[in-house]
Chains A and B, each alone.
Chain A
Amino acid sequence: MSDITLKDMARKPDALICGARLCAGCDETIVARQVLKATRGPTIVTNATGCFEVSTTIFPYTSWEVPWIHCAFENVAAVASGVEATIKAMRKKKEGPLAKYPKVDVISFAGDGGTYDIGFQALSGAIERGHDFTYVLLDNEAYMNTGIQRSGGTPFGAATTTSPAGKVIHGKTETKKPIDEIIIAHGTPYVATINSAWPLDLMKKTRKAIEVDGPTFLHSLAPCSRGWRFPPEKTIEISRLATQTCVFPLFECVQEKGRPVYMLSAPSLAIAKKPESKKPVEVYLEQQGRFRHFFKPTRDEALLKELQESIDTRWQILCEKAGV
């Protein structure tokens, strides 16, 4: 794998330039900008419908400096399949405008709605077919583009406009779909979680994903100031807390001889080695309005305990898989 250094990355021109109309503090642009810093050459981007798509391409303006296509909400992986098949066909036939490049990389961006829910079938199909592309999930844990509705990626207890914290029901009653495990279960050659609070880790994983032949999946948490209800300047802090509390551990998973091999990334490995450094989930929750009902009007010990236990269990399972 070619080396990725912060110095080089800082010098590399941006593929996603200024002018995007995402909200202040939106993590999606931060993640995407870092992902695009780590590309290795000619790249084509496919984008699902969502905040990221609408805000970066309001006609006649565009923030994109790489070839980019948006088709619909649920089909970003299918569109990528077509782009990738074109690259293959032109190279095989030795004719057509993409035949001249030794390599053209395909990157797909989609939100949690476009991944966990409506786009799940197309994603599963594209991975099963083995297309050589990198899928980047920008997970802000709800349908933010339509105004904060619950998705399969919304965590337990979070209040959204379709899972409100009411007098009887306190936020989302179901747990977050284990998307990484589902994608790993497909036999995906490379799956990793990424966090914009650790840019070098993010970019190194991105480059690795791009370099791996076949489908690869990068799952990024994308804190949303509007939907999670926190001040926009807190984005990176909240992103970092998600990993420090093991709500969103950082890891990689490759396939070796048909078996998934998990590796914890440095920030999470440090916690595994020094369990007392693991922060309690409430330091993550109390920063966000979507979890306010955990604390107000009264502190809901039972709810906090239930959530902490489920996080502890999932963390433990991951540590076991990673052999730490």
Chain B
Amino acid sequence: MVAKQKMTGLNGDEASAYATKQVDPDVVAAYPITPQTIIVEKYSEYVADGLVGSEFVAVESEHSALSACVGASAAGARAFTATAANGLALMWEILFIAAGLRLPIVMAVANRCIGGPINIHNDHSDAMGARDTGWIQIFCENNQEVYDTSVEAWRIAEHPDVQMPVMVNFDGFTISHTMENVYIMEDADVKKFVGKRVYMMTEGTKGEAEYRLNPDCPLTIGPLDLQDFYFEHKVQQMEAMKGTLKAIKAVDKEFEKVTGRKLEYVYPYKMDDAEVAVIGMGSVMGTVREVVDELRTEGVKAGMIKLRLFRPFPVEEILKAIGKVPVLGVMEKAYSIGGPGAPLYMEVKTALYDQPKKPLVADYINGLGGKDTSPEMIRDIFKRLQAIKEKGAVAEPVSYIGVRE
């Protein structure tokens, strides 16, 4: 049965903070950085007003924020942090360690471009820099998804088949600072949904032990792992990440039962008969949907695929969503300087490579540093895709949208 919910106005940061308040993790360690700051401010208010039992650790850097979460999560806590851009970059070393130690930390990232030059606005270059660190990465389109994902992230991270940190990504300012109506659950329903943290069993020096810093059954967590075992451990991690797809789906299903809202990895839209389509992530996909609708009224067989789950990369679902579309544009607010294209383009093309029938693919880098991606620009992308379809070839594999000549 769907639980009682109420609608309230929240910006993206508030949606993240509110969901986290309802979860009431044991430790929240964070450092302010635009456009994430509202989360730490809100959370500090919850602590100051006695609305949560969490210990708020006002650390002196993002590096220490995630390090404190590592200590907390290893000690058995639910640990949460939030950051953006250069803050995420400063955490980079610990991103690998948190994931390598298989700690189910949840982190909100209000996506912002990485300096320099310094700029506080949105793109996905921060999260893309973390894509190989071993974190599950989910990208939200709107504030409702931020709220929903911030609740279910705990269940995903702590799922027995997952035990990995989860990064909840949402666009800086476009989502973080923009108010929308959000359906929120009752506190008790959130508590019931997330339940208590479960610990994995592992082999300790005194036999089987819960994987945590336990004075009754001591474990050595984070030992030196040389050429003898490191590779084996990394393979376990990589294979485990592949295996999380099933667990995420199961959590999504349970979430739907409670809220009535269906969460997916991949959202195809009007793809069945599409002749030109784009795939992308984040808030811009809402605008793309509008444009697709407009183009449809004009007789253009346009479609789109919104990707919500980026890590693990849901290859099968993406291929299914792409289907028979002959031309596909990848829209992304990220880059790989010197690479053959931006990250999503490279991964989509890799996924397609072994397919007997595959679309022509072009990469459209847009919105870097918060530059607006307007409906007109999206129409322009579709126009370019139609031209590719007519010619039957991609003349320009990677192009920049909305950039001054």
Partner-B contacts on A (CB < 8 A): 42-44, 46, 53-54, 57-60, 62, 64-72, 74-75, 77-83, 85-90, 92-93, 95-98, 101, 104, 121-122, 124-126, 128-129
**Cβ–Cβ contact A69 & B79, under 8 A:** no
| 8 Å CB contact of B68 from A85, A92, A98, A101 | A85
B210: interface (CB < 8 Å): yes
Contacts of A64 in B (CB 8 A): 218, 220
B219: interface (CB < 8 Å): yes
B117: interface (CB < 8 Å): no
Contacts of A124 in B (CB 8 A): 60
Interface pick from B49-57, B147-155, B175-183: B49-57
**Cβ–Cβ contact A75 & B67, under 8 A:** yes
Count of residues in B whose CB is under 8 Å from the partner chain: 51
Complex: how many Å from CA A57 to CA B226?
Answer: 11
With A86-B75, A86-B77 already in contact, 11 other A-B pairs whose C-beta atoms are closer than 8 Å: A58-B223, A62-B205, A65-B205, A71-B222, A79-B70, A81-B64, A85-B29, A92-B53, A96-B77, A97-B212, A97-B214
Take A62-B205, A82-B68, A97-B210 as given contacts and tell me if A68 and B218 are in contact as well, using a CB distance cutoff of 8 Å.
yes
Contacts of B219 in A (CB 8 A): 67-68
**Cβ–Cβ contact A96 & B76, under 8 A:** yes
**Cβ–Cβ contact B67 & A72, under 8 A:** yes
Shortest CB-to-CB span from A145 to chain B, Å, is 11
Nearest residue in B to A122 (C-beta to C-beta)? B64
**Cβ–Cβ contact A85 & B55, under 8 A:** yes
Complex: how many Å from CA A70 to CA B97?
Answer: 10
**Cβ–Cβ contact A75 & B220, under 8 A:** no
B71: interface (CB < 8 Å): yes
Contacts of B70 in A (CB 8 A): 69, 71, 79, 82
Q: Contact flags (1/0) for B47-89 with A, using CB distance below 8 Å?
A: 0000001110111110111011111111111010000000000
Complex: how many Å from CA A70 to CA B223?
Answer: 7
Contacts of A57 in B (CB 8 A): 220, 222-224
B315: interface (CB < 8 Å): no
**Cβ–Cβ contact A89 & B29, under 8 A:** no
**Cβ–Cβ contact A78 & B71, under 8 A:** yes
Nearest residue in A to B196 (C-beta to C-beta)? A95
Nearest residue in B to A74 (C-beta to C-beta)? B63
| 8 Å CB contact of A89 from B27, B73, B197, B205 | B27
**Cβ–Cβ contact A67 & B215, under 8 A:** yes
**Cβ–Cβ contact A71 & B67, under 8 A:** yes
Shortest CB-to-CB span from B358 to chain A, Å, is 43
Task: Give residues of chain B (171-229) contacting chain A, Cβ–Cβ below 8 Å.
Answer: 196-197, 199, 205, 210, 212-216, 218-226, 228-229
Complex: how many Å from CA A74 to CA B229?
Answer: 25
**Cβ–Cβ contact B71 & A79, under 8 A:** yes
Complex: how many Å from CA A98 to CA B212?
Answer: 10
Nearest residue in A to B223 (C-beta to C-beta)? A57
**Cβ–Cβ contact B61 & A125, under 8 A:** yes
